[in-house]
Structure 1
Amino acid sequence: MHVLALLSAAFVVTFEQLVQWKYGTAGILDLLLLTIGIKADRPSVSSAGAVLLAVLVARPAL
C-alpha cells in the first residue's frame, strides 16, 4: 500500500512540474481549480478549471 501511495505522489508531482514548465503559472492555477473542484465535489469549479486548462493547451503556438 505504501508503494502505491509513493508512486501516486511521484506521478502527481511530476505532472504538476510538467504543467508548470510547459504552461506556466496559469496552467498550475487551472490545474489547482480542477483538483479543488473534484475534491470538494463542486462541478462548477472543476469544470471551470478543465475548460481553462483546455483553452490553455489548445491555444496556437506563437
Structure 2
Amino acid sequence: MCRHQPPCPGADHPDHHPAVIVSAHPEQGWSLLCDGTIVFDDTGELLPDGRAVSPCRPPAAVV
C-alpha cells in the first residue's frame, strides 16, 4: 500500500511503526497506516494478515 518514496517498512517488519497514516479516525480511536496496519488509540494493532497485537500496558502496581 505504501506509495511514497522511500517506502515505509512492511507491516511484518519489526520497525513498522514509522509508517504514514493514510486515514485517521480519532473519533473512533483508530488509524490506517500505509503498510495496511490499523493502529488503535490504546496501542493495539491489527496487522494486514489478520493477526492482532495486544495493547502495551504497564504492569499493574502491587499494593
TM-score class normalised by the smaller sequence: under 0.3
Q: What is the TM-score of this pair, normalised by structure 1?
A: 0.23
More helix by share: 1
Q: What is the TM-score of this pair, normalised by structure 2?
A: 0.23
More strand by share: 2
